Amino acid sequence: MSDYIPENPLIVQSDQTVLLEVHSPRADAARDALVSFAELVKSPEHIHTYRITPLSIWNARASGLSTGRMIATLREYAKYPVPEGVAQEIEGLGRRYGLAVIDRDEAGLLLRVADAPLAELLARDRQVSPLLGERLGDLAFRVPLGVRGLLKQALVATGYPADDLAGYNAGQELPVTLRALTCGGEPLLIRDYQRAAAAAFYREGRAQGGSGVIVLPCGAGKTIVGLAIMALVQENTLILTTSQTSMEQWRRELLDKTDLPPDAVAQYNSQRKDTGPVTLATYQMLTWRPSRDGEFVHFGLFHARSWGLIIYDEVHLLPAPVFRITAELQSRRRLGLTATLIREDGLEKDVFALIGPKRYDAPWRELEGQGWIAAADCMEIRVAQGSERDMEYALAPRRNQFRVAAENPRKRAVVLDLLEREAGHRILVIGEYISQLEELAADTGFPLLTGKTPQSERERLYQGFRERTIPGLVLSRVGNFAVDLPDADVLIQVSGKYGSRQEEAQRLGRVLRPKQDGRRARFYTLVSLRTCEEDFARHRQLFLTEQGYSYRIEGG
C-alpha cells in the first residue's frame, strides 16, 4: 500500500478509536498531540487505545484547537490513511460547537441559532423546548433567566453545545493585587503557563470572559492560577475546596501572595460560619443536611454575598448536589481547577455545561520537561497473598473481596523493604483502610494522619515533614488533597479506591513538586496477585499512561 508509513505510530479506525503503538519512535509526540482531543480507553503493554468523542472534541474546540488541526494530527502520525468518515465526524462535531449561542439584549437572555433547521429542531426537542420562551423571529428565542444552566445541559445532551456569551453580573468590588515579594521576602514568580491559563480563562475581559476549567498537574501551581484570575476579576470571590486542609492552604497562599489583609479572608466551616470578601468553604460543609431527605442548609452561602467569581477547586470531585445549585449560578463567573477532567460518576458533561468547557490544559510531560514538576518513575509491585489468604479471598462475598485483597498482610514486608531501598528520601505511605494504616504506622514509626486527626495536629505534622524533623508520614485518604509537602519524593500506595483514575492523579501529585537536586520522584503501588486489585490497577494505570509516564510491573 503506497500510503503505508511504517514508522508512524497511529492506526485510526472508522469507529473513532485510535490505536497507538507505544514502541514507535514517534509515539511520544503523537500521544502529546492526540490527548488534546481524544480520551485514553486502555493501555496494555504495546498498543494503547484512544477514543474520539463529542465531548473530547468540544473541549478541544473551546480551548482553541481547530478541527483542521485535529485532523492534521491524525494524518501526520497515521500509519495508514485516515478513514474519511473519521475526518468528517470530527469536522461535523467540531462545527456544532457554537451553532447555538446564549446571548443577552436589553430585555434579557436570548438563544440564537445558526440556521432555521436547527431552530426547528431545538424548538421541537423535548429537553430543550420546555426551557425556551417566546420565539423572536426565525433564529432566536427568549430564555427565562432562571434556566440558563438547565438550557446549557439540555443543549449538550442534544448534541449542540452552546457558546455562552451572555456575560456575568458584576460582583462586589474587591481590589486585590499579587505581591512582587511574598511575605517571606521571596520574589513571586508567575510562570508563563500560569499566566496563559489565567488569560485563557478571562478571555475578552469583564463583559464575557470568565467561565471554564483549567487543567494542570498537581504540583504545577493551580492555586497561583486562581490568585492570578482573582487579580483580573477584582470582585468578591467564593472558593470551594475538598477539605479543611485545603482551605488552610488557600488561606496561606492568599495572605502570602496577595495584598489582601487577614480580615478579608473568611472561613465558613463547622466552627465559624463567617463570610468575607474572600470566603473559603468545603464541599462537605455545603452538602451537609440534617437528614437524608432534608434540605442542604448551607446552600445559602452561594447567595450570601455578591460574588463576582466562584472557584471550584478539584472540580472533578464536585458533588452532584453542587451541580444543581450551580445551574442557578450561571450569571456568576465560575472557575474549575483540576488535574484531570475524568469523573468516576460520568458527569463530565455537567462540568462542561455548568462550570464551563476546558479553557487551558498543560500536559504533565511538557511541564516536566521544563522543570516545573518532577520527573517520576511509576512501579506496580504485585504481592502474592499465600494459599490461606487466597482461599479467604475466594470465599469472601464479592463486596468484601476488595478489602481482603487491599489488606494483604504480606504488603507490610514489602513496605519495609521499600523503606530500606529508599532510605534517606522523604516518604509518604498512603492507603484506604485505617486498621492497615495503623499497623504500617507501628511498623515504620511514621506518624499516622486520618480524617479524625485534629486540624492543628495535621498542620504540626505537615510542618515537621517540611522541616525534615519527621522523615515520613502514613496518610489515609486525607492525603489525596491539598497537602503541600514539596520535599516528598517517594509515595507508597498500599491500597486505593477501586479503579479511581482521579485518585491516582491526586496521589501522584503529592510527589511531583520539583526537587532541589533534580532527583526523580518514585510512585509505588502494591497490588495483591490474583485478585480484583489487579483489574482496578489496570484502570488506574490509564491515567499514568495518558500522561506519558512509564509504568513498570514487578512480581506476578
pLDDT digits (tens, 9 = 90+) for 333-342: 999 999 888 7
Q: Judge whether 83 and 12 are in contact, CB under 8 Å.
A: yes
Q: What is the mean pLDDT of residues 135-148?
A: 95
pLDDT digits (tens, 9 = 90+) for 95-126: 999 999 999 999 999 999 999 999 999 999 99
Is 0.85 topped by the overall pTM?
no
DSSP code for 336: E
Task: Give residue for cell 420565539.
Answer: 135
pLDDT at 246: 85
Mean of per-residue pLDDT scores for the chain = 89
Q: What is the mean pLDDT of residues 268-285?
A: 94
- Per the structure block, which three cell numbers stand in for 17? 478509536
Q: Judge whether 415 and 494 are in contact, CB under 8 Å.
A: yes
Residue boundaries of the structural domains of the chain: 10-96, 100-164, 192-362, 372-554
pLDDT at 486: 61
- Residue 193 has φ and ψ, to the nearest 5°, of -70, -25
- Per the structure block, which three cell numbers stand in for 231? 487579580
What is the C-alpha to C-alpha distance for residues 507 and 541, in angstroms, rounded to an integer? 13
Q: How confident is the model at residue 511 (pLDDT cuts 50, 70, 90)?
A: confident
- Residue 526 has φ and ψ, to the nearest 5°, of -95, 130
User: How is domain 372-554 classified at the architecture level of CATH?
Assistant: 3-Layer(aba) Sandwich (3.40)
Q: How confident is the model at residue 1 (pLDDT cuts 50, 70, 90)?
A: very low
Of 140, 154, 55, 137, nearest in space to 101 by CA:
140
pLDDT at 484: 60
**Same topology between domain 192-362 and domain 372-554:** yes
In 314-408, at which residue ranges do the beta strands (DSSP E only) sit?
Answer: 333-338, 358-361, 376-383
pLDDT at 451: 83
DSSP string of 38-64? -EEEE--SSEEEEE--HHHHHHHHHTT
pLDDT at 387: 94
CATH for 192-362, options being 3.40.920.10, 1.10.730.10, 3.40.50.300, 3.40.50.150: 3.40.50.300
Is the model more confident about 68 or about 543? 68
- H-type alpha helices, 397-529: 398-406, 411-421, 434-444, 455-466, 501-509
pLDDT at 209: 59
Does pLDDT of 206 surpass 50?
no
SS3 state at 476 = coil
Torsion over CA of 534, 538, 540 and 543, rounded to 10 degrees?
160
- Per the structure block, which three cell numbers stand in for 387? 494459599
pLDDT digits (tens, 9 = 90+) for 447-476: 999 988 888 898 899 889 988 899 999 998
